[in-house]
Amino acid sequence: MSWWETLRTGAAAIRARRMRSVLTVLGIVIGISSVILTVGLGQGAQQQVKDQIDALGSNLLIVSPGSSTDSSGMRGGFGSASTLTLADAAAIGDGTAAPDVAAVAPTTSTMLSLVNGETNWTSTVVGTTTAWPDVRTRVLGSGRFFSEAEVAEAAPVAVLGPDTASELFGGQDPTGGTVTVGGATVTVIGVLEASGASASGTSEDDLVVLPIGTAKAITGATDDSVSTIYVEAAGEGTLSAAYQEVEAMLLTRHGVAASDADFSISTQESLVATANETNRTMTVLLAGVAGISLLVGGIGVMNIMLVSVTERIREIGLRKALGATPAVIRRQFLVEASLLGLSGGVLGVLIGVVGAQVLPGLIDQPVSLSALATLAALGTALALGVGFGVYPASRAARLTPIDALRSE
């Protein structure tokens, strides 16, 4: 009996029990589509994070204070958040000790309430220097950024993020208007262009940028510590050189060994890696759950095939009496189980693909499908059918024709 004949017989047997076959396949359909969608969601989230971090600016080093706390707790009282200073930033930007550094933007960052007339809004208030738009690759949508002179004299001027501007001023152009930031009144001199990175966590488009002195005055900070120093390397090729120069300089300035550095430097790459680590854990977890449902679907196929063997015991006996060898019977039931698995896989992939188109609109999360994952899902469905079909098929093959024929 040829494979083609076996395939036709199997398809006929599945068609003859239409309702049951559909229900059996449903388990596989749900399993496959949820695997495809969870993996797609995970990959979509990873892509999103990567885009966001790319949008931070190219060739960027991010220097943060106090990553490592001494095991003896010696630095504890000093406060880990104030180990970086404006002087550190100035030294990095000096150009002599760190020739591969193109620009430096020391920043402070606080959440403060903003008031414009009757409108209240809470946003991130960033204090920085004139290099910030360059280093963060941000462009002004209207107005201008503040000047060196305004930074030097801590002028009461502000540049708003586009979201902040629309929250506080509605549709009107805020340039020239005033905003009360944490009690102090500042004049709006410009609005940033949207960064392009979509909203997740803190928005890159909802912020107020002030000269660093102005920000410090508003928050009442008397020291010259900063929360982050953004460093732009001269080029992509010099990123690691810049990294080493900045690290060496800060170690020297702080008088500490590399092993207990009181700051940390991250690159875009390391940020992406960290973010992906988290995402991958989630993806693996979700895909694991989906995989379990797939397994349950496979057990469903086995269950139905066993029922089918019992139910068709006389048919098996007759086929054997008419000349079907055990191998032919085994193949017939294997093909039936594989057809169930495969059709479940195809349906599951279809639902997954449709879901990947529909879902992003509903839950505001991108879903990226990969051809590899889809093929793997199909392969898994087929393998499930075959794998869970083996036992029922060999049971059918082992039946002796007399027992099978005599059974009522």
What minimum distance in Å lies between the beta carbon of 22 and another protein? 18
When the beta carbons of 87 and 327 are compared against another protein, the nearer one is 327
Return the axis-axis angle of helices 268-311 and 371-398, rounded to nearest 10°.
20
Kindly give the residue spans of alpha helices, DSSP state H, lying in 312-325: 313-321
Pick one of 319, 330, 331, 395: the residue that binds another protein (CB under 8 A): 319
- 3-22 binders of another protein (CB under 8 A): 5, 12, 16
How far apart are alpha carbons 214 and 107 in whole angstroms?
12
Query: Contact between 323 and another protein (CB under 8 A)?
Result: yes
Query: Interface with another protein by CB under 8 A: which range of 20-28, 283-291, 380-388, 396-404?
Result: 396-404
* Shortest spacing between CB 393 and another protein, in angstroms: 15
| Options 73-81, 128-136, 239-247, 394-402: segment touching another protein (CB under 8 A) | 394-402
According to DSSP, the residues that pair with 114 across neighbouring strands are: 121, 181
* Secondary element (H or E) of residue 383: helix 371-398
Interacting span for another protein (CB under 8 A) from 79-87, 180-188, 386-394, 398-406: 398-406
Report the nearest approach of another protein to the CB of residue 198 (Å): 56
E strand residue ranges, 146-284: 157-160, 178-181, 184-192, 207-211, 228-233, 263-267
User: Measured from the CB atom, is 216 or 319 closer to another protein?
Assistant: 319
- One symbol per residue from 120 to 159: x for binding another protein (CB under 8 A), - otherwise; what is it? ----------------------------------------
Residue 199 binds another protein (CB under 8 A): no
CA distance linking residue 372 with residue 381, whole number of Å: 14
Measured distance CA(393)–CA(134) in Å, rounded = 68
Contact 267, 354 (CB under 8 A): no
- Complex with another protein: residue 8 or 144, whichever CB lies closer: 8
**Angle formed by the axes of helices 3-16 and 326-363, nearest 10°:** 60
Question: Total binding residues for another protein by CB under 8 A?
Answer: 23
CA 111 to chain centre: 25
Q: Which stretch binds another protein (CB under 8 A): 258-266, 281-289, 319-327, 351-359?
A: 319-327
Name residues contacting another protein, limited to 258-297 (CB under 8 A): none
Site for another protein contains 2 (CB under 8 A): yes
Strands 157-160 and 263-267 turn out to be unpaired
Closest to 64 measured CA to CA, from 230, 275, 244: 230
Q: Is 315 near another protein (CB under 8 A)? A: yes
Among 156, 326, 360, 387, indicate the residue that binds another protein (CB under 8 A).
Answer: 326
In the 8-state DSSP scheme, what is residue 85? Answer: B
Rounded CA separation 63/300 (Å):
55
Smallest gap from Cβ 318 to another protein, in A, equals 5
CB distance 339 to 379 below 8 Å:
no
Closest of 139, 125, 130, 82 to residue 105, by C-alpha: 130
Q: Which stretch binds another protein (CB under 8 A): 71-79, 123-131, 151-159, 399-407?
A: 399-407
**Which residues contact residue 7 at a Cβ distance below 8 angstroms, ignoring those fewer than 6 apart?**
335, 339
- Tokens in use for 77? 């009282």
307 binds another protein, rule: CB under 8 A = no
Q: Which of 111, 299, 321, 363 binds another protein (CB under 8 A)?
A: 321
Strand partners, 79: none
Region near another protein per CB under 8 A, out of 88-96, 253-261, 313-321, 361-369? 313-321
* 327 interacts with another protein by CB under 8 A: yes
Q: Give contact residues for another protein (rule: CB under 8 A).
A: 1-2, 5, 12, 16, 314-315, 317-328, 400-402, 405
